[in-house]
Amino acid sequence: MHIETLGHGPDLILIHGWAMHAGIFAPLTRELAPHFRLHLVDLPGHGYSRDSDTHLRLDECALQLAEQLPSATWLGWSLGGQVCLEAARLRPDRVEALVLIASSPRFVVGEDWPQGVAPDLFRQFADGLRSDYHRTIERFLALEAIGSEHAQSELRELRAQVFARGEPALNVLCDGLGILDSADLRDVLPGLRAPSLWIAGRRDKLIPPAAMQWAAQHSPGGRYLELSAGHAPFIGHAARVAEAVLELQREQAA
């Protein structure tokens, strides 16, 4: 996996969401780099890791990053949040704190989990990728921007970034959708050793804020922050997200 390291201070790992790459964190990176040593990850098949022939697997990604990088706070957006939770499960000694942005331990509705999206959503996207790759990704980006106070500018940013490092590999996009469709990490939460911060977008169309509030309540040391945003609150509210991350770090240091 391609990892860019910049800045100085405590270590902070940033992991992007489906179909994206670490460049999407640019607004947040500018806010955080003066305070942290950032490790910006491009997951297999994405961004500068797009030539990797590795399949996208939560456990493999989490273990590889835990071995390759120092003990750190892990920050994940959407799918990236599930990589962070998997790292906390498999290598708790390497995870000092967690920041989950617009992410949930389970993305899809179930009999005992009403706080997700329809079960067939990600399967529809997988079918769409095979028939009309670019249009399907465009639909997903639009869904991410809906609900934000800055929807148009956020959609422009998402569109500008999505292929800025080349097109993500089709096989890992399908892998990622499969993870979003099937992963259920709720059982991980009660055993978390690291404190966690769950940052939700109030009008997120993919991750209901109630799902993240539930996750915070079921995580030892969990806390919850809700912003007036859609699925990418770190774009329109980068300063507020960075402030919350810094507050978490100060508490850890104290």
CA-wise closest residue to 194 among 104, 44, 61, 88: 88
E-only strand ranges, 66-213? 72-77, 95-101, 196-201
Q: Which residues of 129-149 are buried (b: 16+ CB within 10 A; e: fewer)?
A: beeeeeebbeebbebbbbbbe
Q: What is the rounded CA–CA span in Å between residue 236 and residue 246?
A: 18
- Measured CA to CA, the distance from residue 17 to residue 183 in angstroms comes to 15
Q: Give catalytic status of residue 153 as yes or no.
A: no
Signed CA dihedral, 83, 89, 94, 95: sign only: positive
Catalytic residue among 42, 204, 219, 237: 204
Among 37, 39, 25, 48, residue whose Cα is nearest residue 87 = 39
Contact 196, 100 (CB under 8 A): yes
Q: Which of 16, 21, 46, 231 is catalytic?
A: 231
Whether 231 is a known active-site residue: answer yes
Chain mean position to CA 155: 17
Q: Indicate which residue of 78, 103, 196, 219 is catalytic.
A: 78
Verify whether residue 204 is a known catalytic residue. Answer: yes
Nearest to 114 by CA among 210, 213, 223: 210
Task: Please choose, from the candidates 228, 184, 232, the residue with its C-alpha nearest in 3D space to the C-alpha of residue 206.
Answer: 232
For residue 116, the one-letter residue type is G
Which positions are catalytic?
Answer: 78, 204, 231
